[in-house]
Amino acid sequence: MSEKKYNVVVVGIGAVGEEMVKILDQRNFPCAELKVLARSAREEEVGGKTYSVKASVPEEFDGAQIVFFAGTEGAKGASSTFASEAIKRGAVAIDNGGDFRMDPKVPLVIPEVNPGALAGHQGLIASPNCSTIQMLVALAPIYRASRINRVIAVTYQAVSGTGRSAIRELDQQSRAYLSGEKEFQREAYAHRIAFNLLPQIGGFEDFDFTTEEWKMDRESKKILADDRIRITTTCVRVPVFNGHSEAVYIETEDEISVDRAREILSEAPGVKLIDDPAAGKYPMPIDVDGRDEVLVGRIRKDPHNPRGLHLWVVGDNIRKGAALNVIQIAEKMISDGML
């Protein structure tokens, strides 16, 4: 990391923004000054430190060099309102929200997958959806060994992706259910999430796929620069506090053995291979809380297709799926002399 220090702004102090602040501290990011903005001014304690949060107004971006927009899963607004203000004042804006991901002028980046897309940026870089990030961290190394023609995925997404209100809701509903109550407060979701599965994340679009499911398709194609790859997904909200899981099936152009896939993934950046099912070793959401890596296991050959592979992929959706990825983008830009 460069010895140069930067004036950094984090916009948003929900679940993702809080994690960004923690990670900046944990990774000793070269901050000359760290400013936290939100809708309203207040004091917030993060990681044992108290931060004076300021209200988001254009003048607060004066002097900023790097601005991280936290957002949450599916959230829009802050970056569309303030990114241009930050860029106008000389900052680079890195956005976790969904406003600019599919804008052809804005790079959509996972540092382990397509860091070259950062070249020629115009002051704004987008970070993909959490489920897209963890899937492609696992699939890109295989894609580089043999192009992937087909992806069929089912995601099992934790409530932390919706934000703090959903975490509280799962906790409250679980306690109520175990106490024998029959009525449940619902705020974050239309249906009870405790001891239930919700096969809808986002609104419904073409072919009755949800917005979350289309993100996996469209974002993956942009990141891999491959519009021919066929991707279909079913996204399910599950009663897990943190950590998304994905059952991913791929078909490659060339046959790749299970041993070769394990070899590729064992050497892949950002991946931790946990794949010894006979010994009961495979990734689970409880394993990823607070971890930087994407965990991969249950690698199996399709018994009906020699070019088919099944994988089980688990990641901390708030960390690598959001906060860490945007900070890694900034770190990559610093190391490459782009900041």
Query: Catalytic pick from 121, 235, 244, 304?
Result: 244
Catalytic residue selected from 31, 121, 130, 304: 130
HEC secondary structure over the chain:
CCCCCEEEEEECCCHHHHHHHHHHHHCCCCEEEEEEEECCCEEEEECCEEEEEEECCHHHHCCCCEEEECCCCCCCCHHHHHHHHHHHCCCEEEECCCCCCCCCCCCECCCCCCHHHHCCCCCEEECCCHHHHHHHHHHHHHHHHCCEEEEEEEEEECHHHCCHHHHHHHHHHHHHHHCCCCCCCCCCCCCCCCCCCECCCCCECHHHCEHHHHHHHHHHHHHHCCCCCEEEEEEEECCCCCCEEEEEEEEECCCCCHHHHHHHHHCCCCEEECCEHHHCECCCHHHHCCCCCEEEEEEEECCCCCCEEEEEEEECCCHHHHHHHHHHHHHHHHHCCCC
Active site residue 130: yes
Active site (catalytic) residues: 130, 244
